[in-house]
A and B are shown apart, each in its own frame.
Chain A
Amino acid sequence: MIAEGKVKRPEKRRLKLGRWILKEKIGVFIGSKSEDKGES
């Protein structure tokens, strides 16, 4: 269910959430330059 209401912004302080976790590898990126060389 989506909460209904208004968001009040009493101050301009930015909120940054620092959690950051490098999880599993999901693939390999091959750039277009490599493809041009026939390395894909």
Chain B
Amino acid sequence: MVVRVKIRVKARRSGKSKEIIVLANGGAESPRPCIVVEPRTAEELGLWPPEEAEVYRVEEASTISRVFLLRKAVTLELLSEEGSVLSSVEADLVIQEGLTEPIITDITIDELGIQVISFSRGLWRHKEDKPETIRRSPTKS
């Protein structure tokens, strides 16, 4: 088990939005908040194929990849189980071909206020929650 959260991704340019379940990956590092998705999700947001994008090198555990980055292209809203917005952040959209699951990175997890209680049981709380609040990871769709 890992910690996953439900995020509403709102494309700032197209106005389109999509709710997705993402992996809160503390092992993923980026200098600014970002969400990493596969091209199909970016297409549904009206952001793929891009007219222009920055190309970055990504180092993974056992390989090097190339990704496309659209700077400050989306707003991320962290959703509760009931669908209310807990927090939001302006973020870069990173598009990676062959990605098996959307991820958010270390700084994105922090800025959304996600505090992991247990990685192995998929438990977390939001920084504004009461200390006794425990949230469970949504089931991956």
Contact = CB atoms under 8 A, between A and B. Distances in A.
Interface in A1-40: 16-31, 33-34, 39
Contact of B56 (A18, A22, A31, A34): A22
B57 A23 contact: yes
B117 interface: no
Contacts, number: 79
Given A22-B94, A31-B50, A17 B60 contact: yes
Nearest to A22: B30
B42 to A, nearest CB: 13
Interface residues of B, number: 32
Give the top 10 A-B pairs by smallest Cβ distance, nearest first.
A17-B61, A20-B28, A18-B27, A19-B61, A27-B55, A22-B30, A34-B51, A21-B59, A29-B53, A23-B57
Nearest to A32: B49
19 contacts: A17-B61, A18-B25, A18-B28, A19-B60, A20-B29, A21-B60, A22-B29, A26-B57, A26-B66, A27-B54, A28-B52, A29-B52, A29-B53, A29-B55, A30-B52, A31-B50, A31-B51, A31-B52, A33-B51
